[in-house]
Amino acid sequence: MDLIGNLLIAPPAVKGNFWTKTVIVVTEHHVNGSVGLILNRRSQMTVNEFAQQLGFHMDVPGFLYLGGPINVKNLSFLHTPEWRCNNTMQINQHLCVSSAEEILPRLALGDRPKQWRMFLGLCGWSPNQLLNEIKGLPPFEQNVSWCTANGDLELIFGSDTKDQWMQVLERSGQEFAQNILT
């Protein structure tokens, strides 16, 4: 199953925990495990406030996002591929993820990709864990298995609220129905 660049959606049955109504883009999926970033967990801090704490003056729109519960001090920069730095990994033809000290200085100078989000932290799964969670294989349960959807730029960058979760969940249902009918 090719998950890279696609979306994981917490199903409606997931309630009252960290993963409730999350939408995650999968940035890595290989024999060593999987990595992703939560798209719709916006922090209260703007990118400008974050940059100012690190000594950079910027005037860019947007908020810092909480990418997940692992490495919460790790900065990840999800963006479109026309922008690159010395530590950029191509996810697919539409997405890259970067993590380098040069990101904030370049943003401060106005060197920005067309679409982007900045994250602290990430999500991680051990080898085969994510596939087992999606399939609901023990010790995981099918009623709380991740839903999946193809990632596209509008779903990834178009919203960051509960509306994003609803939009992506609806897309997942449409894709599921299309797969059954074909």
Percent of the chain with pLDDT over 90: 79
Domains of the chain: 7-181 (3.40.1740.10)
Q: What's the pLDDT score for residue 178? A: 73
Who wins on pLDDT, 178 or 159?
A: 159
pLDDT band for position 171 (cuts 50, 70, 90): confident
Q: What's the pLDDT score for residue 30? A: 96
pLDDT in tens, 128-142: 999 999 999 999 998
Q: What's the pLDDT score for residue 182? A: 61
Percent of the chain with pLDDT over 70: 97
169: Cβ–Cβ under 8 A, 6 or more apart, which residues? 9, 11, 12, 147, 149
Q: What's the pLDDT score for residue 1? A: 64
Residue 35's closest CA among 10, 13, 67, 62?
67
Mean pLDDT computed over 159-182: 79
